[in-house]
Every structure is written in structure tokens, then in C-alpha cells.
Amino acid sequence: MAEVFLASRNRKKVEEMERILAAHLPGVRVLGLDDVAAYDEPVEDEPTFEGNALLKARAGLAATGLPSVADDSGICVDALNGMPGVLSARWAGPPKSDARNNELLLAQLADVPDERRTAHFRCAVAFVHPGGEVVVEGRMPGRVIREVRGEGGFGYDVLFVADDRPGLTTAELSREEKDAISHRGKAMRELGPVVAATLA
């Protein structure tokens, strides 16, 4: 069975990647951080999504010996000059909390009119294996609404309505609907054939 390592503890991300990769490589197994021996994870101190993704994927390959994938993603809000950006997961400070991050973002945008609440999710996914490195990027444009809605997804999904699915937050979409339009889905579909060809 082909195995690839995803440098993440987020089970939803692991499952999402396995679903997308399985379309190119049936039976592929994606292992997350909780499935391998613990190692010192690098501090995500790069100023770009690409830099952080490469940092994590290189560390994953070094620690596990498996071809490794890592992503760095976040929401970039136009009215906040592209922030939170690479700081999205840590926007409200430690400890990491989706709820606190969402509360802070809503507070920061409280006086911003609806037409200026445009934003996009951005994702860089790095694939590092003994033969080389590849980085791809995906984007999902949309806007930040004024209240939390939905039970699915994670992070800022409860506040984000994608241009491709107006009326619903990405937390209200089915997994398949979200995969079809999401920044990570787009990047993973682009990367899928590369990973499959390398593992085959």
C-alpha cells in the first residue's frame, strides 16, 4: 500500500487529503502526526505560506522517511491588508482557538460595510520526497459575514461565504461541495497526480 505523510494533527485535513489523493491513487494511506513517532516539529516562522509548507514537509520527510506533504493556509481579508494571512491559526494568540480567532476577526471587521468584507482563503501545499520538492497554491475567493454559521469544516469556515457558493458558509457545505471549491481542494487536486506518480 502506498503511504504518504501529512504533517498535520488535524484529522479532518488528513481525511480530506486521503479522499482527494484516492481519486488518483486508489488505496493510498495518508498518515498524520498522530500516526508516527513524535518528532520536534519546526516553528512556523516563515513569512509566506509557501515557506511554512516547505519547512514542515522537509521536517516530515527527515523524521519519517516517507514522502511528505504539508500545507500552510489562512484567510486573507482585504480590509485588513491581507491579514490574518500566515498568522490565521494564531490570530488571537495562544492557546490556539478557532472560536477566539473568529471572535477577534468579527470584532476587527465590526465597522466594515458588507461590500468591503471581501477576502480569500489561500493555501500552499508542499510535497517533499527524496527526488525533489513541489509547491502548488490554491485560492478560494469570497467574503466574511457578520455571524458564525454552520457545523462543518474548521477554522474560519463558519464566517466565510465563497463566491462559488453564495448564501452558504463553507461550514454549511457538504465535504464534497467544499472539496470542489476550496483552496486546499484546488491545490491538492493539482498535486494529486504528482504524488500518485511518485508513489506508484
Binding site residue list:
8-13, 72-73, 154-157, 178, 183-184
The two beta strands, 83-84 and 29-31, are: unpaired
Give me the catalytic one of 72, 78, 111, 164.
72
CB contact burial 140-178 (16+ within 10 A = b; e otherwise): bebbbbeebbeebbebbbbbbbbeebeeebbbbbeeebb
Contacts of residue 113, Cβ cutoff 8 Å, sequence gap at least 6: none
Specify whether the CB–CB gap between 135 and 125 falls below 8 A.
yes
Q: Is 72 a catalytic residue?
A: yes
Residue numbering of the annotated binding site for Mg(2+): 72
CA separation for the pair 129, 133 (Å, rounded)? 6
Residue numbering of the annotated binding site for substrate: 8-13, 73, 154-157, 178, 183-184
CA separation for the pair 77, 160 (Å, rounded)? 11
CA separation for the pair 77, 60 (Å, rounded)? 30
Specify whether the CB–CB gap between 156 and 101 falls below 8 A.
yes
CA separation for the pair 75, 177 (Å, rounded)? 19
CA separation for the pair 182, 170 (Å, rounded)? 8
Residues identified as active-site: 72
